[in-house]
Homo-oligomer: A and B are copies of this chain.
Amino acid sequence: MTPKVTKKSAATRAHILETALGLFQEHGFEKTTMRMIAEACDLSLGAAYYHFKTKEELVLQFYAETGAEARSHNTTITAASKDFKTRLKALLQFKFTQMEPFRELASVLARQATDWRNPLSPFSAETRPMRDEAIGLIEEVLEGSNVKVSAPLRPHLAKMLWLYQMGVILFWMNDPSPEQRRTEELLDLSLALLHRLLQASTLPFMRRVNQSAVRIVELVEGLAPTEGEEP
């Protein structure tokens, strides 16, 4: 899994990625050609493909790498406040800050999201580790926070919020307002709504709603393939 440091490959991979990200930022994803990337690295086209099976894999790699950063930032977040909304907002905003220079790349990945069998989809079996990690971060944010939520819902809350996060990211990617101000408004609004809804979930009146909600999350989770499926 982890390529030995002694292997030349690691350095070349890193170099290609770095170069590619620069070019993506400069010309955009579509207009940057694999030939450009290879040439900028003083490599042949084939060599570039030796290290990255597809152009999209470059993007995926970038995401994988931002993950580590986010994990470490998470401790800062949980230390700063116990408030659920504050924490979750900080978590999302950090992701946005991280990806800000590469907003377009986000939508490159999102494009794959709709076909869950696509290895690059955030819902695919192949990206499960990344997905689990992201859910893990949310779980960290939940633990020891002031969320009030119906007990049967609690075990599924992180997964639900991950789904919520996907939605917010989709909005963010498409937000043309300067500095994505609308995304911030959306964040505040939706977090408030979420908070109230979760509070409401503790009312006896809401038992049936909660049950359905849990089952729905399970269904969605069940669709995301875990092992190899269809030929």
Question: Taking beta carbons and an 8 Å cutoff, which residues of A are in contact with B?
Answer: 107, 110-117, 123, 170-171, 173-176, 182, 185-186, 189-190, 192-193, 196-197, 200, 205-206, 208-209, 212-213, 215-216, 219-220, 222-223, 225, 229-230
Which of B193, B209, B215 has a CB less than 8 Å from the CB of A216? B193
> Measured between alpha carbons, how far is A159 from B101 in the docked complex, in Å?
32
Using known A-B contacts A113-B114, A114-B111, determine if residue A193 contacts B219 with beta carbons closer than 8 Å: no
Using known A-B contacts A189-B216, A193-B209, A200-B209, determine if residue A115 contacts B123 with beta carbons closer than 8 Å: no
Q: Is the interface of A mostly helix, strand, loop or mixed?
A: helix
Q: Are A230 and B176 in contact (CB under 8 A)?
A: yes
Q: Are A193 and B212 in contact (CB under 8 A)?
A: yes
Find chain B residues with CB under 8 A from A116 CB. Answer: 174
Q: How many copies does the complex hold?
A: 2
Q: Are A114 and B173 in contact (CB under 8 A)?
A: yes
Measured CB to CB, the nearest residue on chain B to A186 is: B219
Find chain B residues with CB under 8 A from A175 CB. Answer: 223
> Measured between alpha carbons, how far is A114 from B114 in the docked complex, in Å?
9
> Measured between alpha carbons, how far is A122 from B175 in the docked complex, in Å?
16
Measured CB to CB, the nearest residue on chain B to A206 is: B200
Q: Are B182 and A223 in contact (CB under 8 A)?
A: yes
Find chain B residues with CB under 8 A from A189 CB. Answer: 212, 215-216, 219
Closest 5 CB pairs of A and B: A110-B114, A193-B212, A116-B174, A189-B212, A196-B209
Q: Are B219 and A115 in contact (CB under 8 A)?
A: no
Q: Report A122 CB to chain B, min CB distance, Å.
A: 11
> Measured between alpha carbons, how far is A171 from B223 in the docked complex, in Å?
8
